[in-house]
Amino acid sequence: DGGITQSPKYLFRKEGQNVTLSCEQNLNHDAMYWYRQDPGQGLRLIYYSQIVNDFQKGDIAEGYSVSREKKESFPLTVTSAQKNPTAFYLCASSIDRLAGVDEQFFGPGTRLTVL
């Protein structure tokens, strides 16, 4: 899982609550990403950030929010507006290249369950 940590590993949320998933990296990467994975499916991009204090929506940003106040940290908040938040959430980072993205390094993931 490289130099990326995610916490907690398991998270339970009641309907109507906001929860924040942590992602920290010590790889000195500029770019960070949040993905959602549903059972038996591939990854879908929620948000990404190429530089501190800047981030962009991915394919499924509705009901989620992020911040990038520090290079090492990219927390994801799952809000009550997200209708079906139960999923496996993966954070990743990569070196930011002008010519595109190379290898992404992934954290171990957080499994969120809504009760």
Partner 1 sequence: SQQGEEDPQALSIQEGENATMNCSYKTSINNLQWYRQNSGRGLVHLILIRSNEREKHSGRLRVTLDTSKKSSSLLITASRAADTASYFCATNNAGNMLTFGGGTRLMVKP
Interface residues with partner 1 (CB under 8 A)?
Answer: 1, 4, 31, 33, 35, 40-45, 48, 50, 58-59, 88, 90, 92, 94, 96-97, 99-109, 111
Cα dihedral value 32, 9, 88, 3, nearest 10: 30
Q: 98 or 115, CB closer to partner 1?
A: 98
Smallest distance, Å, CB 36 to partner 1? 11
110 and 9 Cβ atoms separated by less than 8 Å: yes
Q: Which residues contact 100 (CB under 8 A, 6 or more apart)?
A: none
Q: 35 or 72, CB closer to partner 1?
A: 35
Smallest distance, Å, CB 8 to partner 1? 14
Smallest distance, Å, CB 60 to partner 1? 10
Phi, psi of 42 (to 5 degrees): -85, -170
CA distances from 45 to 10, 32, 89, 113 (A): 20, 11, 10, 19
Q: 59 or 69, CB closer to partner 1?
A: 59
